[in-house]
Structure 1
Amino acid sequence: MDKIKTAFLSYGMSGKVFHAPFLAFHPGFELLGSWERSKKLIHHDFPEVKSYESIEELLEDDVDLVIVNTPVETHYDYAKQVLLAGKHAIVEKAFTTTVAQAQELAAIAKEKGVKLAVFQNRRWDSDFKTVQKIISDKVLGDIVEAEFHFDRYNPLLSPKQHKETVNSGAGILKDLGPHLIDQALCLFGLPQSVFADIRITREHSLVDDYIDILLYYSNFRVRLKAGFFVREAIPAFVIHGKKGSFLKPRGDVQEDELKLGNKPNLKTWGTESIEKRGLLHTEINGEIVQEIIPTLQGNYYDFFDGVYHSIINDAIEPVSAQDGVQVMQIIEGAIQSSAQKKVIDL
């Protein structure tokens, strides 16, 4: 199997938890190293790889794929350098800070003939995959409304300074928002317009930490919410159709397992607790059905496998740059809507 030589632009939680375990497990990747500024951490986990002193040194090496997993406000500049160097790239969410930046990166990747993927791993969460199957099976009839939540209870400010200081990449809209927006776009496509309420709710916070986004489609609406003052969470996915409803708690276990240092596999990985199964209440073949639905297995491995095939077999990226552009269109529309207190056409 051809190996894709891969490097990180940082080795903090993102690289250590969300990327490295899958790159190490997938037979098609070879980890070369990471750019590290002050803390030299990658050798603790991978003693044989390189710790680069600069992005220039990294790009001069025999690297095929670069993972841009630095703070959001740096994504555009670093990804542009990577693409102009003729390297393939995976860029963390939020893809960029503006639509114009996202469109420019997509254009450069096309011009250079390299692959550019956005790391929207939540498409491979067990809960979302189950919701996706329910909708694709059309057991709810025509969709009337859907509501997705990414709720937490965490009134304290993050110790990561770049997340709490005012900059173009900070705030919940560009942290948790891209997950919710991408999931909505994955299921329903680009909406016609958007209305949003973006607020600050935590004491001493300087950045937005609450979002309520309403996406307008021709015959239905999708609401996306995230905040830090939800001590008792309601179902993270609520979908109502003309025949019935599906309610699903957020239950994916992958992030927690990765933080514990557990390694992915293809058999049992991403199997969530049965207590988190969703409730389907609908009409099928003229009969009312109310039952607990088994949850599909989640696995972020599938994202990396998709990236592998996009590079080796010239397949479409698992999450394309154009997908990233559309997420940024929603984010920009939401910012404009909240500021002007009106619905914004996309």
Structure 2
Amino acid sequence: MQKIKTALLSYGMSGKVFHAPFLDIHPGFELLGSWERSKKLIQKDYPEVKSYASIEDLLADNVDLVIVNTPVGTHYEYAKKVLLAGKHAVVEKAFTTTVAEAEELTQIAKDKGLKLAVFQNRRWDSDFKTIQKVINDRVLGELVEAEFHFDRYNPLLSAKTHKETANDGAGILKDLGPHLIDQAVCLFGSPKSVFADIRYTRENSLVDDWIDLLLIYEVFRVRLKAGFFVREANPAYTIHGKKGSFLKPRGDIQEDELKIGKKPNLESWGIEPEELQGLLHTEVNGEIIRKKIPTLQGNYFSFFDGVYNSITNNTTEPVTGEDGTKVMQIIEAAIASNAERRVINL
């Protein structure tokens, strides 16, 4: 099996939790190491790998693929360096800070014959995969509206300075927003227009921390919400059609298990508790049904498997640069809508 030599651009939470464990268990990847600026931590977990002193040292090594998992404001700069050095790239969300940056990176990858994927791992959450199946099964009839939430209760500012300092990559719109927007676009395609309300709700916050986005489609609407003052969570997904409804709490367990050091596998990984199953209330063949629906298994391994196949078999990336650009278009429209207090057409 061909080995793809892979390096990370940081080994903080995302490198340790979301990337290294899956690169380690996938037989098609060889984790070479990570660029580490101050704390040298990767060799404690993976003693055989390297700790690079600079991005130049990393790119000079025999690396095939680079994971750009640095703060959002640096994605464009570093991803461009990676691609111009002839390396494939996976870029964390938000893909970039502007549509123009996203389009340029996507074009560079195409011109150089490289693979560029955006790490939208929430497509492989157990709850989202279940929502996707319910919609594809058409058991709700013609869709009327959907509402997605990424709610938390955390009134304190983050200790990570780059997340709380006013800059082009900071704020909940570019942190949790890309998850919600990508899921909506994955399910429904790009909307015709966007209306957004963006707020600062935490004491002394310098960045947006509450969003309410309305994506306007031809015949239905999708509302996306995220904030830090939700002690009692709403359903993460609420979908209403002309025949019925489906309500699903957020239930994916992968992040929590990765954070406590559990290692992913392909059999029992990503199976959420039964009590978090979604409720389906609809009509099928004239019969009213109201029951819990088993949740599908989640597994971020599928993203990395898709990246592997895209490089070795020249298939399409699991989340493309074009996908990332569509998300950035909606983010830019949301910013303009909030500033101008009007609907922005895409």
TM-score class, shorter-chain normalisation, is: over 0.9
CA deviation profile, 1:138-178 (whole Å, cap 9, x unmatched): 00011000000000000000000000001100000000000
CA deviation profile, 1:1-26 (whole Å, cap 9, x unmatched): 10000000010000000000000010
The equivalent of 1:201 in structure 2 is 201
One-letter amino acid matched to 2:229: F
Alignment of 1:253-332 (within 5 A): 253-332=253-332
CA deviation profile, 1:178-212 (whole Å, cap 9, x unmatched): 00000000000000000000000000100000000
One-letter amino acid matched to 1:103: E
CA deviation profile, 1:269-293 (whole Å, cap 9, x unmatched): 0000001000000010111111100
- Tell me how far apart the structure 2 counterparts of residues 85 and 300 of structure 1 sit (CA, whole Å): 27
CA deviation profile, 1:290-333 (whole Å, cap 9, x unmatched): 11000000000000000000000000000000000000000000
- Tell me how far apart the structure 1 counterparts of residues 84 and 283 of structure 2 sit (CA, whole Å): 54
The equivalent of 1:176 in structure 2 is 176
CA deviation profile, 1:16-52 (whole Å, cap 9, x unmatched): 0000000001000000011111111111101111111
- Tell me how far apart the structure 1 counterparts of residues 9 and 21 of structure 2 sit (CA, whole Å): 16
- Tell me how far apart the structure 2 counterparts of residues 295 and 157 of structure 1 sit (CA, whole Å): 33
Give the C-alpha shift of residue 234 in structure 1.
1.1
The equivalent of 1:345 in structure 2 is 345
One-letter amino acid matched to 2:133: K
- Tell me how far apart the structure 2 counterparts of residues 267 and 286 of structure 1 sit (CA, whole Å): 37
**1:335 has 2:340 as partner:** no
- Tell me how far apart the structure 1 counterparts of residues 283 and 48 of structure 2 sit (CA, whole Å): 58
CA RMSD of aligned residues (A): 0.4
The equivalent of 1:244 in structure 2 is 244
One-letter amino acid matched to 2:275: E
What TM-score do the two structures reach when normalised by structure 2? Answer: 1.00
One-letter amino acid matched to 2:137: D
The equivalent of 1:94 in structure 2 is 94
SS in 2 for 1:140: coil
The equivalent of 1:3 in structure 2 is 3
CA deviation profile, 1:105-151 (whole Å, cap 9, x unmatched): 00000001000000000000000000000000000011000000000
- Tell me how far apart the structure 2 counterparts of residues 255 and 35 of structure 1 sit (CA, whole Å): 23
The equivalent of 1:22 in structure 2 is 22
Paired residues, what number?
346
The equivalent of 1:78 in structure 2 is 78
Q: Which runs of 5+ in 1 are unaligned?
A: none
**1:160 has 2:160 as partner:** yes
- Tell me how far apart the structure 1 counterparts of residues 60 and 20 of structure 2 sit (CA, whole Å): 21
Give the C-alpha shift of residue 264 in structure 1.
0.5
The equivalent of 1:214 in structure 2 is 214
The equivalent of 2:134 in structure 1 is 134
Q: Runs in 1 of length 4+ with deviation above 2 angstroms?
A: none
- Tell me how far apart the structure 1 counterparts of residues 158 and 209 of structure 2 sit (CA, whole Å): 11
The equivalent of 2:108 in structure 1 is 108
SS in 2 for 1:282: strand
The equivalent of 1:192 in structure 2 is 192
**1:231 has 2:231 as partner:** yes
SS in 1 for 2:144: strand
Give the C-alpha shift of residue 262 in structure 1.
0.2
- Tell me how far apart the structure 2 counterparts of residues 135 and 162 of structure 1 sit (CA, whole Å): 37
SS in 1 for 2:58: helix
One-letter amino acid matched to 2:75: H
SS in 1 for 2:24: helix
- Tell me how far apart the structure 1 counterparts of residues 218 and 275 of structure 2 sit (CA, whole Å): 35
- Tell me how far apart the structure 2 counterparts of residues 4 and 141 of structure 1 sit (CA, whole Å): 44
One-letter amino acid matched to 2:125: D
- Tell me how far apart the structure 2 counterparts of residues 208 and 306 of structure 1 sit (CA, whole Å): 33
The equivalent of 1:60 in structure 2 is 60
- Tell me how far apart the structure 1 counterparts of residues 291 and 252 of structure 2 sit (CA, whole Å): 20
- Tell me how far apart the structure 2 counterparts of residues 210 and 67 of structure 1 sit (CA, whole Å): 29
One-letter amino acid matched to 2:309: H
The equivalent of 1:13 in structure 2 is 13
- Tell me how far apart the structure 1 counterparts of residues 31 and 255 of structure 2 sit (CA, whole Å): 21
One-letter amino acid matched to 1:21: P
The equivalent of 2:117 in structure 1 is 117
- Tell me how far apart the structure 2 counterparts of residues 225 and 62 of structure 1 sit (CA, whole Å): 43
- Tell me how far apart the structure 1 counterparts of residues 48 and 251 of structure 2 sit (CA, whole Å): 36
- Tell me how far apart the structure 2 counterparts of residues 50 and 20 of structure 1 sit (CA, whole Å): 13
The equivalent of 1:151 in structure 2 is 151
- Tell me how far apart the structure 1 counterparts of residues 256 and 39 of structure 2 sit (CA, whole Å): 24
SS in 2 for 1:280: strand
